[in-house]
Amino acid sequence: MAGATTRSRLAVLRVRQLCAVELKDHCDLAVIDIYQQPELARANQIVATPTLVIEFPRPMRRFIGNLLNTAGLVVELDLAAKGKIIL
């Protein structure tokens, strides 16, 4: 997240909804604000915002860009192959 902008809040809300509804809370979501927690951003190699890091299943993947892009999230999380429907 890059500060408390409307766009940042919407991106976090969208990913939280995805975790709750589609993944049935079988995920751990950590939100790092690069302005308030720059050391965590560096430690997690976050160089662009927004960045969604998917650690499991391996290999680790990074989704960088508009987290409101439902189609991109479907592909990145492989929900289409599992017959999931996005909000």
SS3 74: helix
In a domain, 23, yes or no: yes
Q: Is residue 1 part of a domain?
A: no
Q: Please, are residues 50 and 2 in contact by the beta-carbon 8 Å criterion?
A: yes
Q: How far apart are CA 38 and CA 75, in angstroms?
A: 29
| 44 within some domain | yes
Judge whether 85 lies within some domain. Answer: no
Q: Does the model's pTM come out above 0.75?
A: no
Residues spanned by the domain of 66: 6-77
Q: Is residue 22 part of a domain?
A: yes
pLDDT tens-digit map of 36-86: 899 998 998 888 888 888 777 778 878 777 777 666 666 766 665 554 444
Q: What is the pLDDT of residue 83?
A: 47
CATH of the domain at 27: 3.40.30
Query: How many distinct structural domains can be found in the chain?
Result: 1
What percent helix, strand, coil does the chain show, rounded to 5?
35, 10, 55
Please report the beta strands in the chain, taking only residues with DSSP state E, as ranges in sequence order: 51-54, 61-64
